[in-house]
Structure formats: structure tokens, C-alpha cells
Chains A and B, each alone.
Chain A
Amino acid sequence: MVGRELISLDYAKVALESEAVLEVKNLSLSFRTHGGIVQAVRHISFDLQKGETLAIVGESGSGKSVTTKAIMGILPGNASIDTGEILYGGLNLVQLKEAEYHKIRGKRIGLIFQDPLSALNPLMRIGDQITEVLYLALKMPSRQAKERALELMTAVGIPDAEQRFYQYPFQFSGGMRQRIVIAIAIASDPEILICDEPTTALDVTVQARILELINNIKRERNLSVIFITHDLGVVANMADRVAVMYAGKIVEIGTSEDIFLTPEHPYTWALLGSIPDLDSPKERLLSIPGTPPNMIYPPVGDAFALRNPYAMKIDAVAEPPMFQVSPTHYAATWRLHPKAPPTQMPEVLQARISRMKAGA
């Protein structure tokens, strides 16, 4: 491993030449609950480059959805942003007032939710829901808005748009509803599209079509996409870069190749090894013992140490900083420290990665 060095702050900035459209710096946020204060996100930093897809993966409760809600300014009332800033277009979104947010949310940054049924108004015709954005965001006159809405519906692959325009959400299938949600999200021509588990509720063949659609739209409009998911297969399909979250922290961030072919963090190893591989013989799956920590009492040191067979003494004492593996690849694990004893990734995963390389 060359170029291994300690970087000062707990955040990774990618040395690419393109410009960052969004920067999250040292963001921490917490929720007040009856049980105590839940530290959902702890000092995370990342940036989103123009035209790239950044996937954030993690298990439920790892803080990935909350992060995007913070970016959109739609955190629930019991949440508070404790530290950090979110920089977009010269503004710090954390300090923005609600009225100012209206100029950004849904206009410059579009959002696609997991459940397309609850994201649509059941009492409103599909066409009206799309044109609503055009009236509000772009102040478009109604005839022009309708034309534009029909264009959008065709663009997201809805047949008979003219007729579908007057129908209600319940008359659409799950995949078609998600297409409508995508049409609404891109109606105002946003610069950034945030997709929060957009295909989790859909069947696998429908999922394939929706992913293809998002990829096409991204390419045509040069969108920057933040893609939240727990499905590593989807990540491999969509992402240029991947951030792996665990217990409210980014534990590893790098390009798709970095994360899938040369993963460094034991949690990433475990995640990759725990999904059955279609090409594989029936090897035993790597399972992670135990459950994620309770974030009311975040563990001292490395949050993953308790479930990590590779944990060292220091993991129980001090939190690992981000170590640089390559110019694009960072991981927060003490095993990258120059003084750490050498550790090997599990054999199951090594075998899988060599199969990947051979098969491609």
C-alpha cells in the first residue's frame, strides 16, 4: 500500500479536477427522543462533484437518509444540527431560513423518495402534480406547463401521456408512480438529484428499468446525483463514488472500483461478504455478529470494534481518523496505521474479488 498517510481532519476531499457542486463539512446532527439524545450523524464530510453519482450505503439507522434530509432542510422538529456546514452555490444551507430554502428545495435540488405512493397526493390528478411544480418553481403559464409536463412524462417512459395526464396515482403501478415522482423531481431542471432508496419498494425487473431511467436522465442533463441505498448491487450499477456509513460516520469513501475491488475497512468487507454472490459456489456467507450500536450511547473508539473480528486494542480507546489509501480512497480504520500489524481481508471476499476481476 503506497501513499498511506494520516490526514488531519476527519474528512475526505477527493483530489479530482472537476468542481464540487455540494460540500458537506464536519456535519453532526442529533435527535431528542424520550430515551435520550440520539447522535444520528457524527462529523461526516464529503463532496459531490459535477455530473457524478455518489452512493451512500449503510444499514438501517446508519444515518444515510438523515444526511440527505439535512441537505434538503426537511429534518423533523426534534432534530438539531450540532456542528458543520453544508455548502451549496456559495450558501451555507444549515443557516438558511425557511423562505430562502424555498428557492433551493425542489428547484435546484430534487428529491426522490422510497415510497412513490406516499410521495404523491392521492386526491390530485397526475398532470396537476407535475404542472404544480412548473407554476410554482418556474412561473410557467398553464398551457405551456401542460406541454412541458407531457414532455416530461414521455421522457420518463410513460406511454399514452396525454391520457395518463388526467389519471390519479392509484391508477398507476408502483414502477409508473416512481416514474411520475422522477418527472416531478426533474421538472424544475435541478442541478442535484437526491434519490433516497428509490427502488427498494419495487420488483427487481421494474427496479432495473428505473435505474436505467435515472442513469439516462443524469447523463442527458448532466445532473449530480446522491444515491442512498442499502443494496450493493444497485451501488455497483449506479455509482461513480461510494461512501460507506456505519453508526453515523463515513467509514470508507472512494471510487466504485476502490470500494468493490480494494476495500480497506472491515465493515465494508463484511458488507460485501454478506451478500450471496450469484456466480459463487455455495460458500458460507460472512455475517456480522451482533447488531449496530445504540446511538444514544455511541461507543468509545471505533463504533464497529465490537462486531469486528479484526479489532485491535486501540479500537476500544480512540476513534480512528480517515487514512488516505489513494488519492481517491479513504478509510477510517486503525489497521491502515503504519504501526498496525498486517491484516488480510477474509478469504471468501478475496476469492470473490478475483472472480470479479476475471469475469469482467
Chain B
Amino acid sequence: MEMPDNKSTAEVSHPRRQLLEVDDLAMHFSSGWGQRKIVVKAVDGISFVINEAETFGLVGESGCGKTTCGRAIVRLYDPTAGRVSFMGREISGPMNGELRSYITDNIAMVFQDPVESLNPRMTVEEIISEGLRVRGFTNKEEVRTKVLDMLDKVGLNEEHATRYPHEFSGGQRQRIGIARAIVVQPKLIIADEPVSALDVSIQAQVINLLNDLKRDMGLTIMFIAHDLSVVKYFSDRIGVMYYGKLVEIARSEDLYLNPVHPYTRSLLSAIPRPNPLSERARVRYAYDPNRDHDYSNHRPQMWELEKDHFVLLSEPEYQRYISAR
């Protein structure tokens, strides 16, 4: 089911350009020394691509590594292993000033907590214009025009420019965070749980805003969230993470209609739907990796079952799926 929207249908028929390519990215955190050393494999070898002008959703439960993945891409963390390329250029290599500004010019982040991610001592205008000033915009008039333009785009107005973050509600603060991210005209926005701290009605405002911006500005968005119904609504393609691994990547309709990995199925079956008629009759499917998989002889790997539909399966599981189809 495509959006009734010319732009997105046009994009589907064109061959898409890859914007971001993540190849076998790993991010391990270690603590302690010697015998007491503990290594947490927060992200453990994941690969995916994000095409230009698409929304890629990354979904999973808390602690599955989805946030770490986003942060490792923008180099808030230094990845343990793997390669990340942005428009063909590797951005996971040794850090220097030039690479840092290449990354920040092209990739912006929107954070989950709209309270903690805005400096309480800066006015909205200062917050939004900071990125411009860092990039050498000195003409005050020009900066101000751009800021007001951004405020207008995210549904705030001129009088808000001189206020401080604490004067705004949660939804408005998230709009400020979005304005700050898009003012430098990045190609990719990594939105890390941008709506999960908001009330439902406000959540809808912010999702509609992101959708409008995506359409009007041709943004590419990586959308990280734990709520599969929001991710499915918002994304073109979805990656499902479980304990540091991507277990399934598919177009969002395919993922919803034909989930293959047992974890994806359990996630879908666990979402409570606002429909009392179906809720009362529903059957939940519980995922237990020890029961559902036998990886002792066969290491799981990514298989492309159909076009754009990748699933992490071991070889016997793959054979079983193929013969059952």
C-alpha cells in the first residue's frame, strides 16, 4: 500500500541512491580489568543501507542497541568494528576536524528527551542559530531570517524566538529540537525516539510535522523507536533489532503482513491495538531464543527471502522456510 502521494510513488519507480551504508558495525562497551572484565556487545555486527529520501525505522526493545547504533553512526561513540559510509565516503575511520564537520554538516540528530537536549540558558533563537554560527554564518540579518523561517516550518512563530526552553510544553520543545536539526540543511536526520516522551495527541502533531518536513525538504530520516505501530506508520523500511543484532529488515508493509523472524512475530503480536473486538480474542506469541533457535551447528546469517526482505536465519531454518513457502 503506497502513500497517495506523487512524490513517493515517483521515487519507488526510480533506482534509488544509497545515502548511508552500514557494514558489519559493532559497538562494544567494556568495564573492569583482567578477570573481571565485562564486555557488553551493544551492537554486534549489523549491516543495512538507507536510501536517499526514505525513512528507515529501527525498532527494538530497550537495551537492544538501537540508540547505540544511531550514536555510533554520527560518531558520538567510536565504533569497535565495521564500516559506515555516507554518500560513498567512509565516516567510521580515524577522526579529524575535517571529518567531524563533514559528519555534522550532513547528519543531524533529534533526541528523545526534549528537556535535557536543549540548553536551558539559551533562547530558542540562540539554540537554533548555533549550528549556523558554527558554520560561519556571520550576517545577523541572514541568520535571523533563517531562524524565523525554521520556526515557521515547525509550527512556531516569531514571538517564540526570544523565549527560553522552560517556557514551552514538551511538544513545542521537540519542535525546537527539530528546527535546530534541520536549520543546517542536513541530508540525513537521525531521530532517536523523538515522540516517545510525548502525550498521544502531541505525538500525532510531531509525527505529522516530521512527515511534512520529509516531503517538503526531501529529508532522509533514520527513525529509532520502540513503538512498532509508530515506526510502521512513519517508515518506508524497518529494521528489527534484538540484542545487538538486526534480525529482520523489510519494507514496512511486508514486515507487518509477512513477518518471518519469530522475534518480529512476537513483537507484532504484543502490540495492544485500540480495538476491543479483536483485543479480546487475540493470541500472543512469546519469543524465546533458546527454544526457537538451534544455532549450535549452524551460525545464523542474513538471507534475502524476497526483494528487500532480509531475515537472520540459520541454514536449516532457511531451508524450512523455503520449503514451507
Contacts and interface: CB of A to CB of B under 8 A. Distances in A.
A203 B227 CA distance: 9
Nearest to A231: B272
A60 B171 CA distance: 13
A285 B171 contact: no
A282 interface: yes
B278 A360 contact: yes
B290 interface: no
B276 A271 contact: no
A275 B199 contact: no
B233 A356 contact: no
18 contacts: A204-B226, A204-B227, A205-B286, A208-B270, A208-B284, A232-B200, A237-B272, A237-B280, A274-B203, A275-B200, A276-B232, A278-B228, A278-B271, A281-B4, A282-B3, A286-B204, A288-B204, A360-B275
Interface string B254-271: 001000000000111111
Interface string B31-73: 0000000000000000000000000000001100000000000
Given A205-B267, A239-B276, A277-B273, 8 more contacts: A59-B202, A270-B201, A271-B201, A276-B229, A278-B232, A285-B208, A288-B202, A359-B277
B169 interface: yes
Interface string B270-303: 1111111111111010110000000000000000
Interface residues of B, number: 47
A231 B275 CA distance: 12
A357 B277 CA distance: 7
Nearest to B8: A282
Complex A-B, nearest 6 residue pairs according to Cβ-Cβ distance, in ascending order: A233-B272, A360-B277, A276-B233, A274-B204, A287-B204, A288-B201
B61 A204 contact: yes
B143 interface: no
A12 interface: no
Contacts of A285: 204, 207-208, 233
B273 A233 contact: yes
A256 B277 CA distance: 9
A185 interface: no
B270 A274 contact: no
A93 B153 CA distance: 52
Contacts of A230: 199-200
Contact of B1 (A212, A239, A282): A282
Nearest to B228: A204
Given A236-B274, A236-B275, A285-B207, A274 B226 contact: no
A267 B106 CA distance: 40
A291 B205 CA distance: 11
Nearest to A232: B274
B156 interface: no
A260 B270 contact: no
A48 B230 CA distance: 33
Interface in A282-330: 282, 284-289, 291
Contacts of A237: 272, 279-280, 282
Contacts of A236: 272-276, 279
Nearest to B155: A289
B204 A204 contact: no
A209 B279 contact: no
Interface in B187-216: 199-205, 207-208, 211
A281 B4 CA distance: 9
A41 interface: no
Contacts of B230: 276
Size band of the interface chain A makes with B: 35 or more
Interface string A230-261: 11111111010000000000000000110011
B233 A233 contact: no
A208 B272 contact: yes
B contact face: mostly helix, strand, loop, or mixed: helix
Contact of B62 (A203, A232, A284): A203
A59 B272 contact: no
A272 interface: yes
A155 to B, nearest CB: 19
A280 B232 CA distance: 10
A72 interface: no
Given A207-B270, A276-B207, A291 B171 contact: yes
A287 B232 contact: no
Given A212-B284, A237-B272, A276-B232, A271 B200 contact: yes
Contact of A205 (B4, B270, B275, B279): B270
Contact of A211 (B62, B203, B272): B272
A231 B198 CA distance: 12
Interface in B155-172: 169, 171-172
B270 A356 contact: no
A121 to B, nearest CB: 24
Contacts of B267: 204-205
A291 B229 contact: no
Nearest to A257: B276
A205 B61 contact: yes
B268 to A, nearest CB: 8
A261 B274 CA distance: 10
Contacts of A271: 200-201
A66 B272 CA distance: 25
A310 B227 CA distance: 31
Contacts of B274: 232-233, 235-236, 260, 272, 275, 277
A50 B269 CA distance: 30
A205 B243 CA distance: 14
Contacts of A284: 208, 211
Contacts of B208: 284-285, 287
Contact of A209 (B4, B200, B229, B286): B286
A279 B277 CA distance: 14
B248 to A, nearest CB: 15
Contacts of B199: 59-60, 230
A59 B201 contact: yes
Given A205-B61, A282-B1, A284-B208, A260 B273 contact: no
A278 B269 CA distance: 11
A230 B227 CA distance: 14
Nearest to B233: A276
A238 to B, nearest CB: 8
A353 to B, nearest CB: 9
